[in-house]
Each structure stands twice: as structure tokens, then as C-alpha cells.
Chain A
Amino acid sequence: MARSSTSSTTTKDAQALFQSLRSAYASTPTNLKVIIFLPTLQYLVKCCLGLQFLPKICLYDFKKTDVVSFFYAEVCLRIQVNKENKEFKDLPPERAFADFVLCNLVLHLVIMNFLG
């Protein structure tokens, strides 16, 4: 008895979760969608590229450093351009993007330096 009731509530919860995700995703503006979609894809590609080095990638090395830093920068950008975040309502999205570009320039210069 108890088991069937728990399993049925779990299924219901999962469905509810997926629905809320879908509706949330549908209501997200396109520019925010792009921000999350691209880096995820990129990270997957890179993992495939360096599959044999995966254990190492997870531990250290700048391969992860650059990808993850890029990812952080995008997350910050997303937070700043999201209109629902009242905290940044005074910040124009153009300014946010300019910050993002500047961060990336610095990041890639550092990476180029490490490449030798």
C-alpha cells in the first residue's frame, strides 16, 4: 500500500516538474535561451574531443579553465540581461554585453599566453 502510493506521488511530482520546466522554457525570451544553449553544446563537443583525457579534464588543466570561465561569463550575462532580476534593472543590456566582451578578451589573452 505504502509503496504504491509513494511511487504514484513520485511519478506525479516528476510530471509536474517537467511541465513547469516546459512552461518556464516556453516563456523564456529567445536571447536568454541562446545564452544557455550554446555553451552547453560547446562543452559537450569538447568533452567528446578530449574523451581520453576526461579524468584529467575533471581534475585540473586549463582546458577546463577556459571553457568553465567562458561559461561563468555567460551565466553572469544571462543574470544581468534577464528583466525579471530587479537587482540589475538599472543596468542596460548593452552595458552587460560590453562587460561580457571585455571579460572574454581578458580571458582569451590569458589563455593565449599559457599556450606559449
Chain B
Amino acid sequence: MSNHLSIIFLILILLPFLTQSFSPKKVLILLDDFSLKSSHSLYFTSLKNRNYHLDFHLATDSNLKLSQHGEYLYDGLILFSPTVQKFGGSLDLNSVLGFVDSGRNLILAVDESASDLVKEIATECGVDFDEDSGAVVIDHGSFADGDHMLIASDDFIDSDVILGKEKIEAPVLFKGIGHALNPVNSQVLKVLSASPWAYSANPESKLSSPPSLTGSRISLVSVVQTTLSRVAKASETLCLVLPDNIGFRRIKAIALFSPDDFKILQARNNARILISGSLDLFSNRLFKSGVQKAGSSTNEELMGKPTFDDRYLRSGNEQFTTELSRWVFNERGHLKAVNVRHNKVGETVEPSMYRITDDLEYSVEIYEWSGTSWEPYVSDDVQIQFYMMSPYVLKTLATDKKGLYYTSFKVPDVYGVFQFKVEYHKLGYTSLSLAKQIPVRPFRHNEYERFLTAAFPYYGASFSTMAGFFVFSIIYLYNK
């Protein structure tokens, strides 16, 4: 009896931990209006089916909070509230950005009634919506249902990891405002672009000046992936190896740094953001509607006579948004690098310093998150740099297809403080920036050859001087 009790007790103790490890990801969804819950239900259902716990709230709800006691309550945030002027509760622009900076994910969808607040969030993420508040994307070339503001676009980003392996055949229907990407920010990617003859303008007013946003510069849907940077510390001591000026080389200065100096750039770690200029993109109506789209850029079409030759029963919206949400919520393309190792060939211990012309081995393990577990990441384009101001060695790592990447190379004949650098930036994948500092020293005094053939005249000189001294002493003493 007591045995049973203790087992039950044990289960009760362990229960919170068990549920925690298998708990679904929590996503907070902010809406302008609860009617969106039903009008966009297909999208929400697809998330629910993938084991996400959805938490619906009005954006103005006074009980809103993202974090409690310094811990975030959610893994993702979906802002389907374009008109909100001010969030309720403790939520504001900074808390949303802080949420993203902590490495969590954000989906932001707006429409033509977008408020300054949501536009500002987008701007902070590197995306600039059209400043004209009434402007929408208009396309007289590729539209659907006779509505020139309902755009059918199939200009997707060419990336399996973002949009899934299965090609999206049907065009995606879009109704909303366009945005331009901040050219300085290389982390923003255009996922769905407008056609070359699209433009962004207010349909109510007459166009007096050329629209500021035109053609394929308009992005309809963009994603942002912030960079993950990690600098591992080589050891707590960093040695500066410098030559001194009399020809003998030796270690001249040893500078000591605390390990804190090497903890660099932990912020902005690998959050994924999806920004869509159209809220309708996610709606059941557009999920279900068929597409009659103008054919690809033929002359006729450019002449203003679209040929309606492509006909699809359902638009590509459902597949497009579902695949994108998979990517945004880190179900795909999420990499981690662990176990960075390096050692001399034939040894297993990681040295604190290498000597010039040493042969060394380097290995790192890279895994990809599959949604449930870490699977080995297989690719043939991961490269290592042996870096000091510029890469002295640049080598592609070989892989054993089980996640281990390895190579070996010779330390160049240059001494100084080097870094093992892996800079892996692949479209749609987590950026990996690994840097590990390692000093390289010159030969020690006793590592050179003992007697050099080239130096024999010098040896001869020394010995003959000694002999000369002996002979001289004899002659001098006898000549007294």
C-alpha cells in the first residue's frame, strides 16, 4: 500500500516536469474583433492541428501580458489586429520588440486600415509600409475575380526551407497594402513579390504624381530572420604573441581577459518574423476561392489583354500560409551547432594554443529541428575559416551525414591570434556564426634544429678563436 502511494506521489511530483517537456507551444493571437476567429478559422485550425495552444484576445484587452515574473508566457505572437492604436494591458511597442529580441516569433498581418502602431512594429523589423494611409496595391495585370485590388501573385521566393518542398502551384490571392524592404537590412526576405506592373496607390483619389512604390520592388509578404551570433571563448587567457626586435622571437606580452569579454551578441538571436500586407491572405474566403489568373508575362498581357488561361479551384493561400507558419514557428530550417572541437592530429585534448605549421583537426555538430527532435543536418556547403583579419584557411567541411562536420588542415606559417570561424548563412536557415579564438605561436627556442649545416663556419670561427687564444698565450709567454 505504502509502495503504491509513493509511486503515485512520485508521479505527482514529476507531473509538472513531464507536461512541461511535452507541452504544446503557446501562441498569443491578438484580434481587432472576435469575428476574425471564425472568418480565419481554417488558418487557426491548421495551427491547432500542429499542436499549438492558441490564446485569443482582443488587442485592447486590459489583461494582456506577454511576460510574467520576467518569463515569457508565449512562444509566438500573432498580430491580426491592424487597426489597434494602443494595446491593452502591459503590451506596447517595446514589449513586442523585446519579445522578438528574445528569440521568439511574430506574425504580423495588416490591411489598408493599418494603424501607426503596427506600422511602427513593422518598421522596427526592417519593413516600410507605404506612407500613404489610403494606398493599396493595385495590379491591372495579374488580378483575380475582376477586382484589380485582389492580386494573384505567384512570384515566390525560391526556397524549399521557407515554403516547403512541395511547390505551390496556384497563385496566392492578396488584398492589402504593399511594403518595401529596408535595403540596409539584409535579414529581411521578400517571400511574395508583386508583379512588375503593380503599384501602390489610393484607389479613391486620382493619381497626380507617380506612385512611390511600384513593380516588383513592392513586397507583399516578407519574412525576417534575425541573426544568431555566438562567440565561444577559447580559454580564459588570451596570449598576444608578438615578435621583438632583436631577431629572437618570443612571447612578449600576455594579456589577460575575463571570460565575460567573449560573451558577445546574444541579443536578436534567431527570431523569425512574418509580415504580410494583407490580413485577408489568411482568411477562409481567400483560402477557398478559386483563382483565375492572367497567364505569365506574355505580350498580350502586357498590352492589357490578359489571357485567363490558368484556372485553379483553390488558391495557393492555404498552402502558402501554412508552410510559412511552419517556418516562422521554427518547424523547419532551425539549426543548432554544438560540440565545436579542435585538436592536433593524433591527439584528443583541445590545446590552448597551436604552433605554426601544426596539423589540426576541427569538428562541429550541426542539427536541424524537425518539430519534435533534433535531426542531423546534411549539407555539403559548410565552411570553416581560420581567420585573423582575413581568412588564412578556408575549407569546406566534410560530413558523416550524422550531423558531424569535420576537416583537418595545417596551421599557416603565421603567428598571432586566430579564430576558428564558421559563418553559415543559408537562405531560410538559422544563421550560424561560430567563432572560437585560438592563439598561434612561433617555434620555441628549443624547437629549432640543434646544429645547422649552414652555421658550420660560425662554429669554426668560435673554436678557432679559442685555439687562437691558446696559441697566442703560448707565443706571448715564450716571447717575454
Contact = CB atoms under 8 A, between A and B. Distances in A.
Real binding pair? yes
Interface of A: 30-31, 34-35, 38-39, 42, 45-46, 49-50, 53, 60-63, 66-67, 70, 74, 97, 101, 104, 108, 111-112, 115-116
Contact of B460 (A39, A49, A108): A49
B22 interface: no
Given A31-B479, A34-B479, A46-B464, A63 B457 contact: yes
B471 interface: yes
Given A31-B480, A34-B475, A38-B468, A53 B462 contact: no
A70 B480 CA distance: 21
B450 interface: yes
Interface in B421-480: 450-451, 457-462, 464-466, 468-469, 471-473, 475-477, 479-480
Contact of B471 (A38, A63, A101, A115): A38
A30 B477 CA distance: 11
Contacts of B461: 46, 49-50, 63, 66-67
A30 B480 CA distance: 8
Nearest to A112: B462
26 contacts: A30-B479, A31-B479, A34-B472, A34-B479, A35-B476, A38-B471, A38-B472, A39-B468, A42-B464, A42-B465, A45-B464, A46-B464, A49-B464, A60-B247, A63-B457, A63-B458, A66-B465, A67-B465, A70-B465, A70-B468, A97-B477, A101-B473, A108-B462, A108-B465, A108-B466, A116-B451
> Main SS of chain B's interface residues?
helix
Contacts of A39: 468, 472
Given A31-B480, A53-B457, A63 B462 contact: yes
Contact of B468 (A31, A42, A49, A63): A42
Contacts of A31: 476, 479-480
Contacts of B458: 50, 53, 61-63
A95 B444 CA distance: 44
Contacts of B468: 38-39, 42, 70
Contacts of A66: 461-462, 465
Nearest to A77: B476
Contacts of B473: 101
Q: Which of B450, B458, B462 has the most CB of A within 10 A?
A: B458
Nearest to B469: A104
Nearest to B470: A104
Contacts of B480: 31
Interface in B298-345: none
A101 B450 CA distance: 30
Contacts of B477: 97
A34 B478 CA distance: 11
- Nearest first, the 3 A-B pairs at minimum CB distance are A50-B457, A63-B461, A63-B458
Contacts of A38: 468, 471-472, 475
